[in-house]
Amino acid sequence: MSILLNKDSKVLVQGITGRSGLFHARMCREYGTQIVAGVTPGKGGVHVEGIPVFNTVEEAVRYTQANVSMIFVPPPSAADAILEAADAGLELAVCITEGIPVRDMVPVKRILADHKMKLVGPNCPGLITPEESKVGIMPGYIHKKGKIGVVSRSGTLTYEAVKQLTDAGLGQSTCVGIGGDPIIGLNFIDCLKLFNDDPKTEAVFMIGEIGGSAEEEAAEWVKAHMKKPVAAFIAGVTAPPGRRMGHAGAIVTGGKGKAADKIATLRNCGVNVADSPTRMGEAMRQILEKGKS
Amino acid sequence: MNIHEYQAKEILSGYDIAVPRGRVCLTADQVERAAKMMGGHCVVKAQIYAGGRGKAGGVKVVHHPEQAQELAKELFARKLVTPQTGPEGLRVRRILVEEAVEIAREFYLSITLDRGASRYILIASAEGGVEIEEVAAKTPDKIHKLTIDPLTGLRSYQARKIALALGLTGSLCEDCVELILSLYRACLEKDCALVEVNPLVVTKAGWLMAMDAKMSFDDNAIYRHREYPDMVDYSQLDTLEITAGKYDLAYIKLDGTIGCLVNGAGLAMATLDVLNECGGKPANFLDVGGGASREKVAEAFKIILQDPDVKGIFVNIFGGIMRCDVIAQGVIEAANEVHCPLPIVVRMDGSQVEEGKRLLTTSGLNVQCADNLGDGAQRIVKMLG
């Protein structure tokens, strides 16, 4: 088992005729993902690399029974693309697009609350259930099938973490890059819940970074509900304090967001936090061994 | 993207929000003339991309044009250091001269994104002024918050509750309702990451006025506002950061000696962390973007080498889908093109990693290849002694 994605997932690609859309559709298919359709308004009826292209998501779903979308639509139309996927009744949309304005995402997030579709991203590397299916831009070869769930706000730092896990002999059930934008679909807690309920996930590795308070909230959730061991890494311990404008940000977050605070909260909630980005795999192994002894 | 107070006030006045009469000046002589126009008694306000100016001496009331000119000379000559600028401070290149307004009451009002709720949030307080963060920390009940449902928008009745909570009554209350609705409209239409009026005042003459305003824009939305790029005051930005911005690279100057070139922000931060752990001091944060194209790597090299403090370079690229031999070629071409004389340590991961390493070690550059993140950090720290 896994979360969100498996070998039976039927994936359509919104924005398949763009450069990165086509490239990554091909990479995902080579990994084993069932890419069943593409959607580009105005290009319906053509085939790219043997994949049928439709004008709308609804049409693509009707002909191919796709249940997952991977979105590569450029920022000005990306919010619309997410809503179209939700409206067509998909189960999951993974939005890779970077640079969507906040003002566009605020209503999207609000409208998605009334749909069953889950959103991963935007501005994320996507997700992968190793040796089954990949919907994203991460390199497949660093992953190995196994029992660790990975959830991360970062892109390439996730690859670093996954590689360390694989090198330590710790395969992964599913790895989810939730994205680094201010407004995202699934958050840390949503993914932790899914991993908690997934019988094949035995432990979770979480990768966070400075800013916001998502890691602190996830830590509290772990303390209250998580049945499985959790290890983590927080990037930015030595990042310099940034310049800022005004006071509103500080009032909203109550001064949270520093790496040291996040790490302290996670540790207080029983999460094993790696003290160095070179020891992420080791931190995972430590807490697994501790559980066994 | 940040803008200055005077620019924010221009935008707000376009939304029928009253602001003091003012003039922005580039020289001390202009400040003197502007002060005369205001009748001598006026406020001289340094324009920088940060708050906390008042306590740092950047905002003063003066009574004569000569006094305004003297103050302007002093402000133009130094950097302002406030709790929001960081220790290096910011240079003053523009000064706003405004009419002095007699104030009866001060409030705080802002709209920003509440990331937790994924909605815009209106924040208001009757305890406006410089100590608002302290007010929020010590007496949170004096801060009124309203998260805005994007589907209904901000409604008059909701704004009225806020205005009443601020203690406004009668026609002032209704004026405040209008002002709050205008502020929300400005926030949306201008794609603001923050719009803050602090203080919003009731003048002794009895009306509402935005005495100070801060505004910053969502960087992702700049493409739909053609006027924004021309509003940037480059004197407020680091020159290397400006160059980096042109090539879509995220660069932040730090005070160490190891130039860092990394793909992805999280990995770039982790790279700074591991260098510090090994006793090294990073000279910068530099994210060339997840994809790490050859062109961006080349531009990144040039930017790093323009920093005279850099004594060595650590390249950390988790190529992922990108092949390491392609990355290696990019690094070699860039280093040759800019005649890089400094030692370089390259850590790469991705496919074709052995071929990439072979290309680098036979390139004739002063370069070492590292096996992993920790090894790379240790090597560059050791090479620089």
Q: Does residue B290 carry a pLDDT above 70?
A: no
- Mutation for A interface: B110, B269, B348, most A CBs within 10 A: B269
Alpha-carbon span B101 to B105, nearest angstrom? 12
Percent of chain A's residues with pLDDT above 70? 95
Q: Does residue B353 carry a pLDDT above 80?
A: yes
At A227 the three-state DSSP class reads: coil
Q: Say whether residue B248 is in contact with chain A using an 8 A CB cutoff.
A: no
Nearest CA-CA partner of B249 in B219, B289, B301: B289
Percent of chain A's residues with pLDDT above 90? 84
pLDDT at A70: 98
Alpha-carbon span A202 to A206, nearest angstrom? 14
Mean pLDDT of B125-144: 86
Out of A139, A244, A252, closest to residue B114 by CB:
A252
Structural contact between residues B328 and B336, judged by C-beta atoms closer than 8 angstroms: no
pLDDT digits (tens, 9 = 90+) for A233-273: 999 888 776 666 667 776 676 667 788 899 999 999 999 99
Q: Does residue B360 carry a pLDDT above 70?
A: yes
* Torsion angle, alpha carbons of B74, B75, B76, B79, to 10: 120
Nearest CA-CA partner of A241 in A261, A267, A225, A226: A261
Per the model's pLDDT, the better-predicted residue between B177 and B297 turns out to be: B177
Pairing relation of β-strands B94-99 and B42-47?
antiparallel
Mean pLDDT of A131-148: 95
**Winning range, highest mean pLDDT, from A276-285, B133-142, B311-320:** A276-285
8 Å CB contact of A137 and B290: yes
Contacts of B174 (CB under 8 A, 6+ apart): B160, B163
Q: Residue B134: how many CB atoms within 10 A of its CB?
A: 11
Mean pLDDT of B106-134: 91
Mean pLDDT of B140-160: 96
Mean pLDDT of A77-104: 97
pLDDT digits (tens, 9 = 90+) for A28-59: 999 999 999 999 999 999 999 999 999 999 99
- Mutation for B interface: A95, A103, A137, A190, most B CBs within 10 A: A103
Mean pLDDT of A5-32: 95
pLDDT at A1: 63
Q: Give one word for A178, left, alpha or beta, with left for phi > 0 and alpha for psi -120 to 50.
A: alpha
8 Å CB contact of B318 and A160: yes
At A68 the three-state DSSP class reads: strand
Residue type at position A94? V
Per the model's pLDDT, the better-predicted residue between B334 and A36 turns out to be: A36
Place of tokens 């049928």: A52
Out of B113, B270, B318, closest to residue A182 by CB:
B113
Mean pLDDT of A11-36: 95
pLDDT at A25: 96
Q: Does residue B144 carry a pLDDT above 80?
A: yes
CA-to-CA dists, residue B311 to A239, B202, B239, B328, B343, angstroms: 20, 56, 20, 21, 8
Out of A101, A180, A245, closest to residue B218 by CB:
A101
Asked whether this complex has an ipTM greater than 0.95, the answer is: no
- Residues of A with CB below 8 A from B118's CB? 105-106, 109-110, 183
Q: Does residue A111 carry a pLDDT above 80?
A: yes
Q: Exactly one of B108, B120, B184, B251 is catalytic; which is it?
A: B108
- Phi first, then psi: what are they for B199, rounded to 5°? -95, 150
Calculate the average pLDDT of chain B.
91
pLDDT at A241: 65
Q: Residue B144: how many CB atoms within 10 A of its CB?
A: 18
List strand residue ranges (DSSP E) for A45-132, in order: 47-48, 51-54, 68-71, 92-95, 118-120, 126-129
What tokens does B237 get? Answer: 């930005």
pLDDT digits (tens, 9 = 90+) for B155-208: 999 999 999 999 999 999 999 999 999 999 999 999 999 999 999 999 999 999
Mean pLDDT of B334-358: 86
pLDDT digits (tens, 9 = 90+) for B60-92: 999 999 999 999 999 999 899 988 887 888 999
Calculate the average pLDDT of chain A.
93
Q: In chain B, what are the domains?
A: 1-19+102-236 (3.30.470.20), 21-100 (3.30.1490.20), 238-384 (3.40.50.261)
8 Å CB contact of A248 and B136: no
Nearest CA-CA partner of A205 in A270, A150, A146: A150
pLDDT at A255: 64
Residue B23: its H or E element: strand B22-25
pLDDT at B85: 83
pLDDT at B291: 67
Q: Residue B328: how many CB atoms within 10 A of its CB?
A: 27
B111 pairs with which residues across the strands? B122, B195
B6 is catalytic: no
- Residues of B with CB below 8 A from A82's CB? none
Out of B216, B320, B372, closest to residue A245 by CB:
B216
Alpha-carbon span A282 to A284, nearest angstrom? 5
* Torsion angle, alpha carbons of B293, B296, B298, B300, to 10: -140
Nearest CA-CA partner of A284 in A149, A192, A190, A157: A149
Per the model's pLDDT, the better-predicted residue between A246 and A7 turns out to be: A7
Q: How confident is the model at residue B321 (pLDDT cuts 50, 70, 90)?
A: low
Mean pLDDT of B36-41: 94
B53 pairs with which residues across the strands? none
- Phi first, then psi: what are they for B271, rounded to 5°? -65, -40
List strand residue ranges (DSSP E) for A62-157, in order: 68-71, 92-95, 118-120, 126-129, 133-136, 145-152
- Mutation for B interface: A27, A137, A243, most B CBs within 10 A: A243
